[in-house]
């Protein structure tokens, strides 16, 4: 049973518009969430994270929102650029001393010029 779910396999957005990628989780013990971006033939690279004590974290064009009651987080990219086209993975961890990350299946974002 998947603990981290990204229900949209793909998303297409026009350049300059907002991209919203969604992620749901089931484990209430998760207290740290990350987004990774992956280009073809490369490994995932860290994008942005959020701790469960916050509901929003912003870094330039990227903002992550966390709704703990709904067990839902989202990544907003605004404005979207063609270079943002990649697969985005949501990941979660349950804290403590273990570095275990539980990943979603990913959402492929295509930003069209």
Partner 1 sequence: ETGVTQTPRHLVMGMTNKKSLKCEQHLGHNAMYWYKQSAKKPLELMFVYSLEERVENNSVPSRFSPECPNSSHLFLHLHTLQPEDSALYLCASSPMLLAKNIQYFGAGTRLSVL
By CB under 8 A, name the binding residues for partner 1.
2, 4, 31-32, 34, 36, 41-46, 49, 51, 89, 93-106
What is the closest distance, in whole angstroms, from the C-beta atom of residue 17 to partner 1 in the complex? Answer: 28
Given the complex with partner 1, which of 46 and 81 has the nearer CB atom?
Answer: 46
Contacts of 21 (CB under 8 A, 6+ apart): 6, 8, 11, 35, 74, 75, 77, 88, 90, 107, 109
What is the closest distance, in whole angstroms, from the C-beta atom of residue 104 to partner 1 in the complex? Answer: 6
Length of the chain: 113
**Separation CA 106–CA 36 (nearest Å):** 9
What is the closest distance, in whole angstroms, from the C-beta atom of residue 19 to partner 1 in the complex? Answer: 21
What is the closest distance, in whole angstroms, from the C-beta atom of residue 97 to partner 1 in the complex? Answer: 6
CA-derived radius of gyration, the chain? 13
Given the complex with partner 1, which of 9 and 16 has the nearer CB atom?
Answer: 9
Given the complex with partner 1, which of 89 and 109 has the nearer CB atom?
Answer: 89
Residue 41 tokens read as 């033939």
CB atoms within 10 A of CB 34: 19
């Amino acid at each position: 049973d998947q603990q981290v779910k990204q229900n949209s396999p793909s998303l297409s957005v026009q350049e300059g518009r907002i991209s919203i990628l969604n992620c749901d989780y089931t484990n209430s013990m998760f207290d740290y969430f990350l987004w990774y971006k992956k280009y073809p033939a490369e490994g995932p690279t860290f994008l942005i994270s959020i701790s469960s004590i916050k509901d929003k974290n912003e870094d330039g064009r990227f903002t992550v929102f966390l709704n703990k009651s709904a067990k839902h987080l989202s990544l907003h990219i605004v404005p979207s650029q063609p270079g943002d086209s990649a697969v985005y993975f949501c990941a979660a961890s349950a804290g403590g001393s273990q570095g275990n990350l539980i990943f979603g299946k990913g959402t492929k974002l295509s930003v069209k010029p």
